[in-house]
Structure 1
Amino acid sequence: MLENELEKAGLSVDEAKTYLAALELGETTISRLAKKSGVNRSTTYFVIDSLIEKGLISKIRKGKKTFFYAEDPRKIREILKEKEAAIEKIMPSLLAFTNLIDRKPDIRYFEGPQGIKEVYKDTLNYPGQEICAWFSEAFLKFDESFFYDYYIPERLRKKISVRAIFPDTDEMKKFSMLDEKQLRRSKMIPKEKFKMPVEISLYGKRKIGIMAYEEKIGLIIESQKIYTGLKSIFEAMWEISGE
């Protein structure tokens, strides 16, 4: 039982056995340690060197003999704290490295009106960030109470701003009149050139939300490469679009 716990703390099987034997024996010789722990004597030499390096065993010379004794078990807690501090120190570098790994996109699929709402709700998980979206006029007919009683108030509460590109229609012009109040900036494209049957939202710095109102399906795609590509297209369209 104790051996297993020591292994979880980072000791090898032989280190755990030898350290427990040293605790029981007190000041002792290497031959007695090997016998008590059940670890081969030649292996015990290497194990003791490792435990000395970890600060869990110390040695003392008496005459011509060398004796070994276990350090306070609380030393293990100090070692774990040191390891944790070391890991925390390098964690930013490790996380930065993982961003370089080419991964397959993570795609989640949702059905029905509730599924579309799940995509919208996911965009609320990134307070203080910006959503860049291509709006479809179809969303104006989708559950007004969800938008005006829940989604927009919650987005405003979390200070999530929106930049939106949508077709230049009378209905969308009316919608854009609420831009300032709803923490949104919008640009319009002639409806003849902007036939957008779905809404596409870019958010969370790596997520794409797709809401297909007629088909009643929602998709969340998580991919840095796809996000970056679509974001570049959005910025280009934003730049050339009129106010």
Structure 2
Amino acid sequence: MIEQTFEQLGLTPRESLLYQTLLKLGPSSIRDIAEHSGINRGTAYESLKQLQSKGVVSYFPKGKRRFFTAENPEILLSLAEDRRHRLDKTIETLKTTIIPNLHQQQPEYHHTNVRYYEGDDGIEWVLRDILNVVSQQDHKEYCVFSSKPIRPYLYRPFPNYTKQRVKLGINVKVIALGEGGEEAELSQRKWIKTEGSVDASYIAIYPPKCAIISLVSKNFPSAVVLESKDIASAQQIIFDTLWKML
């Protein structure tokens, strides 16, 4: 776990080893550092210079030699905070400048982007995509057609989906095909009564996308996600019209 943490801070495995070696040794010469770390002097020296540039290691002259010393481990928290600050700035730049500019480079014609997903991992991806897309919109709401047979498989890979949806302040309107379905916070539900059983199906409308989930076999779900403003708009009109009639 510590190696993964150091890697996220921008330190290589070798740099991590050298830093921890220095913490144990205290101020040390390059010869002692190389001996205790098992890294040859030339490689150790180059890595120590990298650590110094990152503020993790410092040195002082002692006679004709340099002695290196590890900074207090609290410096690692400063590194993490600095990386988080730079990442926040990158995210903001992506939102306000880069992504809008990239969208402008796309051709003007409309096309439908179709993606297929299978199994629990695929269904979880679709559910997370719904939350991600809707949470970024001003009007945080999406609409669903859902039948009872699909429900046991829908949230199996993402059991806390509803809690996440509510936490993000996302509303949902559900038209249930057949009986069943539980009331939930930030949720409105209406029913279409059917005679006999209905097939397992789930259609989520979250413009500019629509997701269709069904069962390929008895216990294996699959999904198709259509990204098209025109298709999503048409599906939204159908849903809204039917919603008012129920």
For normalisation by structure 1, the TM-score amounts to: 0.52
Q: What is the correspondence of 1:191-210 to structure 2 with a 5 Å cutoff?
A: 201-205=203-207, 206-209=209-212
Q: 1:3-54 deviations in whole A, cap 9, x for unaligned? A: x724542232321332233223322222222222221111122111111122
Give the corresponding residue for 1:129. 171
Gaps of 5+ in 2: 104-112, 121-146, 194-198
Change (3 A) 1:200 1:83: closer
Listed one character per residue, the Cα deviations across residues 119-169 of structure 1 (whole Å, up to 9, x for unaligned) are 8989x9455435487x9xxx4xx33xx2xxx54x44xx414488x9x9xxx
Runs of 5+ consecutive residues of structure 1 not aligned to the other structure: 172-196
Matched, 1:5 2:8: no
Match of 2:149 in 1: 115
Query: Quick one: which amino acid aligns to residue 129 of structure 1?
Result: N
Q: 1: distance between equivalents of 2:214 and 2:31?
A: 72
Query: Does the 8 Å CA contact 2:173/2:188 hold for their aligned counterparts?
Result: yes
Taking structure 1 as reference, are residues 115 and 7 closer, same or farther at Cα in structure 2, changes over 3 Å only?
closer
Aligned-partner residue type, residue 105 of structure 1: Y
Aligned 8 A contact 1:26 1:70 in 2: yes
Give the secondary structure class of the aligned counterpart of 1:55. Answer: coil
The equivalent residue for 1:74 is 74
Aligned length: 186
Q: Whole-Å Cα distance in 1 between the matches of residues 237 and 148 of structure 2? A: 32
Measured after TM superposition, the shift of residue 68 of structure 1 is 1.4
**Is 2:30–2:67's contact at 8 Å kept on the other side of the alignment?**
yes
Could you tell me how far apart the structure 1 residues matched to 2:214 and 2:58 are?
66
Q: 1:88 to 1:161 in 2, by over 3 A?
A: farther
CA distance in structure 1 between the partners assigned to 2:21 and 2:15 by the alignment:
10
Where do residues 46-61 of structure 1 align in structure 2 (5 Å cutoff)? 46-61=46-61
Task: Check the 8 A contact 1:207/1:220 in 2, yes or no.
Answer: no
Q: Counterparts in 2 of 1:34-113, with a 5 A limit?
A: 34-91=34-91, 104-106=115-117
Indicate how the Cα distance of structure 1 residues 120 and 43 shifts in structure 2: closer, same or farther if over 3 A, else same: closer
